[in-house]
Amino acid sequence: MDVLKTAILEMCRKRGEASFCPSEVVRQLYPEDWRNFMDEVRAEAMTLYRLGEILVTQAGIAVDPQKEPNGPIRISKPK
């Protein structure tokens, strides 16, 4: 998971204020098999969110950190 953590945080750094989809992280790491890593990258994103290292949103609203979000999420730097 350290690879995913590093990749998520690096994508945040590169994007500045812009949010991004978790699939962008795994597409960069695993271009052929990225779909196989979606559960892992979403889980790592929620871990980082709960630690206050990133922001996870749905439709522009921060998700409840105590629940696993259903549907598409976006990742960005915390404000």
Return the CATH number at 63. 1.10.10.10
**Confidence at residue 40, expressed as pLDDT on a 0 to 100 scale:** 96
Phi, psi of 63, rounded to the nearest 5 degrees: -75, 160
| Residue numbers of the domain that contains 13 | 2-76
Indicate the pLDDT class of residue 66, thresholds 50, 70 and 90. Answer: very high
**Confidence at residue 79, expressed as pLDDT on a 0 to 100 scale:** 82
Q: Looking at the 3D structure of the chain, how many domains does it have?
A: 1
Token pair, residue 79, equals: 């404000």
The answer to whether residue 1 scores a pLDDT higher than 80 is no
Q: Are residues 22 and 5 in contact, defined by beta-carbon separation less than 8 angstroms?
A: no
Three-state secondary structure along the chain?
Answer: CHHHHHHHHHHHHHHCCCCECHHHHHHHHCCCCHHHHHHHHHHHHHHHHHCCCCEEEECCEECCCCCCCCCCCEEECCC
